[in-house]
Chain A
Amino acid sequence: MTVERRELSVRGTPIHLLTAGAGPPLLFLHGAGGAGRWLPFQERLATTFTVYAPSHPGHGGSPDAPWIEHISDLAFHYLDLLDALGLDRVRLVGASFGGWIGAELATMASHRLQALVLIDPVGIKVDGWIYPFLFGMDVPEVVATVFHDPMAALALAPPDQSVDTLALQYRQGAALARVSWNPYLYDPLLRRRLGRIVAPTLLCWGAHDRLAPWSPCGETWAKEIPEASRRVFADSGHVPHLEEPAAVAAAVIDFCRSAEGGA
């Protein structure tokens, strides 16, 4: 499939955007380390939707945007992106950190979403759970925490160890830290606001997620968004869209179709 890669300015913030496919618009928000990659998951979604996959500012090909200091800045940034693309309503799919941004956006402007799919999102304070501190881990520890199948991590492996690659990874880490170091991976205000989400919502979860396990994390999301549908992926850790891309993409497509009245 031909993937269009372009730069655009979103209310003065330059970003890098991948677009492919045909059909109704779907916005995919990547997790940490997933910027700028067109993976089998997006490829499958693009058979049914026009997939827009931007890199968060500071990640991948998007330059750092120092004004982004809080997760809500990213959510507003993506509302601005929808305006810049002239998209009134979209399906929003967010994975992990991208799920957090998606959930923030949904609490602000649920009416802009035809459907919301959260894949192992972080972002809320969960009673009895402290997210393992990835910033303090080396690569093997991160892989062991995030992936059920470590081989799936190869999809996100850096191309080399050049100064440019290492500098990019550092810049991504800094952009991530700025909004998520402390409180770590959550916004204390978000959980209570989840009740504002009225868009049809699907929670996708890896059965072996060790960063944000279904119990108690997924259960908390399910409690706060009681109408949400749920799908658990038996062979996945924290990133089922990388570990079982075909199954997750099929679930997303099915859910969006049913949310739109079987169209």
Chain B
Amino acid sequence: MKFYYFHLMPYPMDHAEPSSWVTLSNRYYDPAVGQRLYNQYLDQLEYAEKLGWDGVCVNEHHQNCYGTMPSPNVMAAMLARRTSRAKIAILGNGLPLRENPLRVAEEIAMLDVVSGGRVISGFVRGISAEYFSTGMNPAHSRERFYEAAELILRAWTEAGPFPFDGKFYRYHYVNPWPRPLQKPHPPVWCPSQGSSETVEWAAKRRFPYLMVFTPIKRIAQIYGEYREACERYGYTASRYQLTVNVPIAVAETDAKARELAQQHVMWVFNVGLRMHPPFWRPPGYLTEASLRRLLASPPRLPSELGFEEADREGYLIYGSPATVRDKLRVFSDELRAGILCSGLNGGSHERTLEMMELFAREVMPHFREDAHVDETAGVGR
């Protein structure tokens, strides 16, 4: 199994506002605290490479305390120069949110060239609330996503200049300098919450599929659908096309890990993902089919998720190294996920570094049968 260190770069805080997204006033953001946090988070990502993680992950979110990386490419740029081996996975750029997606093609190519071909380029639509933060029309989200992705892939692979005349994006000259180093282009991943349309789209293009913060039963279901779709497109999905993202707390004992998970992992769900209900479901963001699927078995709002339920349903993993190993076996052996894309949170920078060390020492080595496999060979492009 491959291990990628995932970071949201949250701004941990408690508040009584109805939403941690869109409307949570930025007067709560103290740039002096932010300076400390950003640098600690970057230290953690750099340390992950030293400890043996195969990749480091950044991602795009806007106007909230859940994740303070409105531009993931800025963070990736810093990591490109401070790491030398790990893959840098940007999970991802919110394509429909861009007025000029060619900029994404340019920035990813820059990062790929500087990093010596270590970039993984996630394509996402952006979380529902981001259509409130950016003013972009959610009813255009899916169409813009497909069109921007097509444009970027062509910009990376076809010799320019060429014209592009889409419904949303139009150019007379598509000719970005630089071109990416990886051939034919950096691997593309699709982080998603399981809409059938995205599963289909990713499977068709061999783009790895990443489930974010999802109960384990649903991961199993969506993985099944993805594998089935790959078969329909005439190939068998590599395990490295199935990536799982689950927060982990590891400590010397189960009891200690449980305490840390309760305190810090649950913050992500209970506070970080607290959202004014209309922000969850902007009009037209989902197809009617996806909406009906959601309504048929409505997931619990993260802000209402209790620890016992989160534990039972597999929203998170905690325990001693031995317990965490057992729990991870479910992902590696039963779900046959090839990549674990998780962050650790010890509540403070020092304790997080210790937790990372413990994980790297006591957990990771037990999943290294594939140490010499290149997980990006033949997938994502």
Binding site for B on A (CB under 8 A): 135-138, 163, 166-167, 170-171, 173-174, 176-178, 181-182
Contacts and interface: CB of A to CB of B under 8 A. Distances in A.
A135 B22 CA distance: 13
B292 A135 contact: no
A164 B283 CA distance: 16
A181 B291 CA distance: 20
A142 to B, nearest CB: 9
Nearest to A164: B292
A163 B295 contact: yes
B286 interface: yes
A167 B292 contact: yes
A163 B296 contact: yes
B139 interface: yes
A173 to B, nearest CB: 3
Contact of A177 (B276, B282, B295): B282
Contacts of B140: 178
A136 B139 CA distance: 15
A181 B137 contact: yes
Interface in B272-324: 276-279, 281-284, 286, 288, 291-292, 295-296
Contacts, number: 51
Contact of B295 (A135, A167, A173): A167
Contact of B292 (A138, A163, A182): A163
Contact of B132 (A136, A138, A173): A136
Q: Is the interface of B mostly helix, strand, loop or mixed?
A: helix
Contacts of B282: 135, 177
Nearest to A179: B139
Contact of B278 (A138, A167, A178): A138
Nearest to A162: B295
Nearest to A168: B288
A170 B286 contact: yes
A139 B249 CA distance: 39
Contact of A173 (B135, B136, B283): B283
A167 B139 contact: no
A136 B22 contact: yes
Contacts of B281: 170
A135 B278 contact: yes
16 contacts: A135-B278, A135-B283, A136-B22, A163-B295, A167-B295, A170-B281, A170-B291, A174-B139, A177-B138, A178-B137, A178-B139, A178-B140, A178-B284, A181-B137, A181-B139, A181-B283
Contacts of A176: 283
A136 B291 contact: no
Interface of B: 22, 132, 135-140, 276-279, 281-284, 286, 288, 291-292, 295-296
Nearest to B134: A182
A136 B21 CA distance: 12
A171 B281 CA distance: 12
A182 B144 CA distance: 15
B110 to A, nearest CB: 30
A173 B284 CA distance: 7
Given A163-B296, A177-B282, A138 B277 contact: yes
B138 A137 contact: no
Contacts of A135: 132, 278, 282-283
Nearest to A134: B278
Contacts of B277: 138
B276 A167 contact: no
A106 B132 CA distance: 32
A174 B131 CA distance: 13
A241 to B, nearest CB: 24
A65 B92 CA distance: 32
Contact of B283 (A138, A166, A177): A177
Nearest to A133: B132
A136 B137 CA distance: 13
A226 to B, nearest CB: 34
A136 B288 contact: no
Contacts of B295: 163, 166-167
Nearest to A178: B139
Contacts of A138: 276-278
B378 to A, nearest CB: 37
Contacts of A163: 292, 295-296
A178 B135 CA distance: 13
Nearest to B129: A136
Contacts of B136: 182
B126 to A, nearest CB: 15
A25 B139 CA distance: 35
A170 B279 contact: no
Contacts of A182: 135-137
Question: Which 10 A-B pairs rank lowest in CB-CB distance, beginning with the nearest?
Answer: A173-B283, A174-B284, A177-B283, A181-B137, A178-B139, A174-B283, A177-B139, A163-B295, A182-B135, A177-B284
Contacts of A174: 139, 283-284
